């Protein structure tokens, strides 16, 4: 089965190259602008009451699809579904960012980690009661080693 997803806008950021961008939104203090196409403006109704949003986007400059990749936080290659690298089979990315304000079809966000003019697929509100419910003892697999190393530094 194949299907088509069309962008609903694009994301403006200060990052032109992958090496310039933070490795995840949680490591970023950068501001960006989420530009939603005018036809989707009605969908922004009531979004302004949320402090954080989830951005789904397309890694349009990723030219490869690799199932094994060396992640940024480790020297040992991992399966693509155990990391968040951009060389994914469907090139879909996800970032949680802070929503600062909405002006018309533009959303000012903080914590952006994507390249400038990245195609936007969707926006969802972050709702802790939905997205984090019952996840007090979350395990992070191979990243546990990295987490422990940072705590012991």
What is the domain count for the chain?
1
Does the CA dihedral 9-15-18-23 come out positive or negative?
Answer: negative
Q: Does residue 37 register a pLDDT over 90? A: yes
φ/ψ of 123, rounded to 5, equals -130, 135
- Measure the CA–CA gap between 116 and 14, rounded to whole angstroms: 6
Let me know if 57 is exposed, middle or buried by CB neighbors in 10 A (0-12, 13-18, 19+): buried
Residue 39 lies in a domain: yes
Angle at the Cα of 73 from the Cα atoms of 72 and 77, rounded to 5 degrees: 70
Residue 71 lies in a domain: yes
Any bridge partners for residue 110, and if so which?
31, 98
- Measure the CA–CA gap between 120 and 137, rounded to whole angstroms: 32
Q: Does residue 77 register a pLDDT over 90? A: yes
* pLDDT bracket for residue 153 (50, 70, 90): very low
Domain of 33, in residue numbers = 9-151
| Number of other CB atoms surrounding residue 36 within 10 Å | 21
Token look-up 């530009």 returns 35
Domain with 124 in it: what CATH number? 2.40.30.70
Decide: pTM greater than 0.75: yes
* Stretch 8-32: mean pLDDT: 89
Q: Does residue 147 register a pLDDT over 70? A: no
Residue 69 lies in a domain: yes
């Amino acid at each position: 089965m194949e299907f088509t997803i069309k962008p609903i806008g694009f994301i403006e950021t200060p990052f032109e190259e992958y090496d310039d961008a933070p490795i995840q939104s949680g490591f970023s203090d950068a501001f960006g602008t989420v530009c939603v196409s005018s036809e989707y403006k009605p969908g922004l109704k009531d979004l302004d009451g949320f402090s954080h949003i989830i951005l789904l986007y397309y890694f349009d400059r990723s030219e490869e699809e690799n199932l094994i990749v060396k992640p940024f936080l480790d020297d040992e290659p991992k399966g693509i579904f155990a990391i968040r690298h951009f060389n994914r089979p469907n090139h879909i990315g996800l970032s949680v960012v802070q929503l600062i304000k909405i002006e018309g079809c533009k959303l000012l966000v903080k914590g952006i980690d994507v390249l400038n003019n990245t195609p936007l697929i969707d926006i969802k509100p972050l709702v802790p009661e939905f997205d984090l419910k019952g996840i007090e003892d979350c395990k992070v697999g191979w990243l546990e080693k990295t987490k422990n190393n940072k705590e012991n530094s």
